[in-house]
Structure 1
Amino acid sequence: MTDDEKIRKGQGSRLRTVRMAAGYPSARSAALDAGWPESTYRAHEGGTRTIDPRDAERYIKHFLRQGAKGGNFTGRWIIYGDDDELSEASLDDLVRGESPAFKKKAIDAILALKKR
């Protein structure tokens, strides 16, 4: 399994966790209820398509409104996972899908740390 596949599978697994916490028995039921394209949502949850930050935020907002409880659910968590998962990620993994301005700030911060 490639690194990209691992990232997508992790994102999908976290998305599934939130969906189930919101009480949806299937990806299909969540997509239909929220009005999302079912094929896109299923691909995100199945780990065959990378979730972009806007989609992650949209999913989280919906699931929290539906009562998802039991975790620290955020769009960032869906994309990146927990801190221990982040420590094993590459810089490319951490900035994938972010804006050019965000990427520049991340690089500037790293260069500042290296100067210490």
Structure 2
Amino acid sequence: MEEPHDRLAIARRNAGFENATDAARAFGWNENTYRSHENGERGLRLAIAERYARAFETSAAWLLTGEGDAEAAPEPKNIVRLVGRIGAGAVIDADFEQEPPEGFAEIEIPYPVPDGAVAFEIVGDSMWPRYDPGDIVICWKVAQTRTEADGWEAAVRLTDGRRYLKTIRRVSKDRFDLVSHNAAPILNVQIEWACKVFGNIRAGEWNLLERAPRRSR
């Protein structure tokens, strides 16, 4: 009989991700945490099941109990997960990026974005004049290779765990400089993950949602 972790693996494959690594990287999840949910080492709480259900376009009820339809209506494409803040020095607040018990916040934006896009909120003036406090940066398209990210403006995670919003400049085979608009560059670092900036939404043009509504069937 299928268990929740079995259904999670099914949902991941149905969503087009060949393995757990691909899924975790696409959505910016901690890979070890996701693997522990999919292999059954850790149980699925409701908030976590809802997160995975939104990502894989299924239902939390089906993941947890097997009841209902494995294929749910997709999320409206102008609903995006808010998964971080960019603060002084253009550093992504890693504490905020750890999902709270109630799940990540979600926002409604004025135009559609690709599936899997995530949002970061600008705080402070370290990214001025390109971005103002309260602006939203939409990131989408995870680099499949480190060299692919050369020239991208992207949310970046370094091998030491630090996270930034920077423009990536390749300086050697596996080393990069990270450049921002109003902060000193970070030189000669190694990149673990990069997600390209898709666009930005000005402050006042996006709405914070308690929960993203689903389309009716």
- Tell me the TM-score normalized by structure 2: 0.30
Match of 1:47 among 21, 40, 43: 40
Deviation, 1:62, is 1.1
State the match for 1:15 in structure 2: 8
- Indicate the residue corresponding to 1:38 in structure 2: 31
Taking the aligned partners of 2:32 and 2:11, their CA distance within structure 1 comes to 18
Instruction: Provide the secondary structure at the position in 2 that maps to 1:13.
Output: helix
Root-mean-square deviation over aligned CA pairs: 1.7
Over the matched positions of the two proteins, sequence identity in percent amounts to: 37
Q: Provide runs of 4+ in structure 1 moved above 6 Å.
A: none
The answer for the alignment partner of 1:59 in structure 2 is: 52
Alignment of 1:63-78 (within 5 A): 63-64=56-57, 73-78=58-63
State the Cα distance separating 1:78 from its structure 2 match. 0.7
> Structure 1 length as normaliser, TM-score?
0.54
Give the whole-Å Cα distance in 2 for the aligned partners of 1:23 and 1:10. 21
Unpaired stretches in structure 1, ≥5 consecutive residues? 1-5, 65-72, 84-116
Does the alignment pair 1:81 with 2:66?
yes
Q: Quick one: which amino acid aligns to residue 9 of structure 2?
A: R
Q: Which amino acid aligns with 1:40?
A: T
Using CA pairs under 8 Å that are at least 6 residues apart, name the structure with larger relative contact order, 1 or 2. Answer: 1
Higher strand share: 2
